[in-house]
Amino acid sequence: MKKLLLLLILIISFSSSAQQNAVNLKWNISDTLTYKTIIKDTYREDGVDENKSDSLSGDLGSTLREMRNKMAHSTYESKLFPDEEGNIDILINAVQTDSTDSFFSKIIKMTGVPFLRGKVSPEGELLSFYYKREHKNMTSLLFELPTKPLEVGDEWNLNINLISLDQNFYADTLQRKNIVRLKDIIIKNENRIAVIEYDVQEYVSGTIEMTMKSMFPKLKDKKVNMKISYTGTGEFDIESGYWISYDGTMETDTDFSLFDFNTHKTTEFKLTLKK
């Protein structure tokens, strides 16, 4: 009986100690919180014939690449503020573009359309399920938090789906990893800071069926490979309830494109708190 009682005391003590070491990561925003935000795309293309200008696809491909590259150098501002129910609204707007992008800068400013809107709970749960997949992914990557207490070394998953293809795609190989980890708790300026690491990978290969082959006999089904990975590190102030820094990198590799060239895209994400 004494041994059983001692074992019970040890279990209770261990559980109590674990609870004391666990931390809750929650947004604590009573006013508007602003981050300077970098979302920058860099492209590397394989198999592009730069001298191919005697065809519609060559001209159009070159034009689209130029437009894409010009739109890739925008600086943004992220604003987080509480709504009437205590949840967190997120608004990202373009505030500055590269000095050579005057035409595209004017388009961005004239439309007045936000780059991204989102909403999370104070616990960091994604609430804006109604937006497009790309917008939900970005909101989750930048602002989603674990909804349960954590100890150093604990892992959880993000509510994201990076790869999306149409129903005429047949997959033969697929892999997925979705891990976010509380790596450490450090002290900065006498505040406890949660160091969070991201390791996300999605890969798929298969065949795209050309559905208009009956009208265009020369069309052939196309083999497709696509891989998207995301790694990053964020530092979250536990007591204050917000990121003090966030850096992430998304790598996209695919041989599926409209103009038959392989594309590698690197997207840099960076949040810097504006004081």
pLDDT of residue 227: 95
Residue 254 CB coordination number (10 Å): 16
CB 239 within 8 A of CB 185: no
pLDDT of residue 46: 62
Residue 238 CB coordination number (10 Å): 15
Nearest to 140 by CA among 152, 127, 122, 154: 127
| Beta-carbon contacts of residue 87 (< 8 Å; ≥ 6 apart) | 119, 120, 121, 122, 127
Residue 182 CB coordination number (10 Å): 21
Which segments of the chain have a pLDDT < 50? 5-19, 48-58, 60, 63-64, 67, 100-102, 259-260
CB 53 within 8 A of CB 63: no
Distance CA 121, CA 26 (A): 9
CA dihedral 225, 203, 229, 265 (to 10 degrees): 10
Cα Rg, the chain, nearest whole Å: 23
pLDDT of residue 182: 98
pLDDT of residue 9: 44
Q: How far is CA 89 from the centre of its chain?
A: 17
For 233, phi then psi, to 5°, come to -140, 130
CB 220 within 8 A of CB 252: no
55 DSSP assignment: S
